[in-house]
Amino acid sequence: MSETAGKPIHCKAMVARAPKQPLTEEIITVDPPKAGEVRVKVMANALCHTDVYTLDGQDPEGLFPCILGHEAGCIVESVGEGVTSVAVGDHVIPCYTPQCCETSCIFCQSPKTNLCPKIRSTQGAGVMPDGTKRFHDKDGKDIYHFMGCSTMSEYTVLAEISCAKIDPEAPLDKVCLFGCGVATGLGAVWNTCKVEANSTVAVFGLGAVGLAVIQGAKVAGASRIIAVDLNPSKFESAKMLGATDCVNPNDIEGPIQKHIAGTMTPWGVDYSFDCTGNVNVMRAALECSHRGWGTSCVIGVAASGHEISTRPFQLVTGRVWKGTAFGGFKSRTDVPLLVQRFMEGGLPIDHFITHTFEGVDKTNEAIDALHAGECLRAVVKY
């Protein structure tokens, strides 16, 4: 039993007070975990585009004030009543796609999906499963949770079913990347699309997610990997990970989809992935997929009110449009396996970490680095 167990903890956190505002550094109170909950010490947090998307006010579920962050490595400080799967001192990765594993859960029992809905409604409402919050500011006012994680705080409270217990030897300031972007990209290839050897692939958007798609496609034995981005500084990493062609749409006459399906390939690519969140790019990704059997996977998160469209003819002629959340990985089962594969040297990820910062109060600088366009993942160590 830790000495802080059962007591409120006062710690530093970066609070999103309002959209489009820098985060404010605050001393907050983190309540003890209730039944079925776990309080963790956050050791490292990586910045994902979705945190910035929500901070920019683009998330229809965005609630303020809140504590953002969902790609982290943590150590269990105390557990609530009835918690059995993790214990004080365990190393865990918080998972915004939880996994209740109950026999009555048709989602957890199905091999077709990872979308356990057990706490999705309260998670989307920025509260814990019992409908209340564990964060309070200096005036005692409640602060919303985010994606069931809220890891831009030195301590946070998670539902037990959102904790993936991992190898305690694993470096938390690296494997935190398996909490979102990198796992999502790899899983979109391996789980959602099940890309076969010798497939042709196009990847739109070469941030950490897009580059993880390329890394995953390379491992799957794809024969051609076309990497697309408006920012040519991303091409070097793409080639290093296995891209065979790099294309900047600004250098192309006409629609990029016609260039990929027509000039670069006769009928399009077997698989395409949107990793930008731009609905026009999602359309281009679909329309460059192969006549008769092409599959296009939406990974990017679009701004509130943005919708996708294409001519039905594109689907009538055999293309499939699908999407993925967390790459289809069942979080508590699969994340420990990804960490193990990394520890065995079979899944390198260091190349995603382009920036590191010391102290939760450096999170705004990490956000600036992502905005500057040269950042894949900024890891903030607490």
If the CB atoms of residues 76 and 286 are measured against ligand NAD, the closer one turns out to be 286
Per CB under 6 A, the list member of 180, 195, 285, 376 interacting with ligand AHE is 180
Measured CA angle at 303 (ends 177, 319), to 5 deg: 85
Three-class SS of residue 237?
Answer: helix
Binding partner of residue 207 among ligand AHE, ligand NAD, Zn ion, none, CB cut-off 5 to 8 Å per kind: ligand NAD
Residue 232, sorted as left (phi over 0), alpha (psi -120 to 50) or beta, turns out to be: alpha
Per-residue contact track with ligand NAD, 230 to 259, x per CB under 6 A? xx--x--------------x----------
Residue 6's CB is within 10 A of a number of other CB atoms, namely 12
Per CB under 6 A, the list member of 59, 154, 270, 334 interacting with ligand AHE is 59
If the CB atoms of residues 179 and 268 are measured against ligand AHE, the closer one turns out to be 179
Would you count residue 48 as binding Zn ion (CB under 5 A)? yes
- CB neighbour class for 241 (10 Å; exposed up to 12, middle 13-18, buried from 19): buried
**Residue 29: its H or E element:** strand 24-30
CB of 270 to ligand AHE, least distance (A): 25
Binding partner of residue 203 among ligand NAD, ligand AHE, Zn ion, none, CB cut-off 5 to 8 Å per kind: none
Query: Any residues with CB less than 8 A from the CB of 249 and at least 6 apart, and which?
Result: 228, 230, 256
Residue 66 a catalytic site member:
no
Bridging pattern class, strands 72-79 and 37-46: antiparallel
Per CB under 6 A, the list member of 275, 288, 360, 379 interacting with ligand NAD is 275
CB of 304 to ligand NAD, least distance (A): 13
Q: Could you please report the per-residue DSSP string of 127-155?
A: S-TTS--SEE-TTS-EEB--TTT--SBSE
CB of 303 to ligand NAD, least distance (A): 9
Binding partner of residue 193 among ligand NAD, ligand AHE, Zn ion, none, CB cut-off 5 to 8 Å per kind: none
Would you count residue 48 as binding ligand AHE (CB under 6 A)? yes
Would you count residue 229 as binding ligand NAD (CB under 6 A)? yes
Residue 167, token pair as written in the block: 């190898």
Partnered with residue 27 across adjacent β-strands are 12
Q: Which of 360, 373, 299 is nearest to 72 (CA)?
A: 360
Q: Which of 26, 37, 54, 70 is catalytic?
A: 70
Q: Which of 74, 100, 176, 375 is catalytic?
A: 100
If the CB atoms of residues 264 and 275 are measured against ligand AHE, the closer one turns out to be 275
Residue 113 a catalytic site member:
no
Decide if 154 contacts 69 (C-beta within 8 A): no
In total, the chain counts a number of residues equal to: 382
Would you count residue 208 as binding ligand NAD (CB under 6 A)? yes
- CB neighbour class for 361 (10 Å; exposed up to 12, middle 13-18, buried from 19): middle
Residue 276, token pair as written in the block: 């930008």
Would you count residue 61 as binding ligand AHE (CB under 6 A)? yes
Would you count residue 275 as binding Zn ion (CB under 5 A)? no
Site for ligand AHE, rule CB under 6 A:
48, 50, 59-61, 97, 120, 180, 301, 325-326
Residues labelled catalytic: 48-50, 70-71, 100, 105, 108, 116, 120, 180, 377
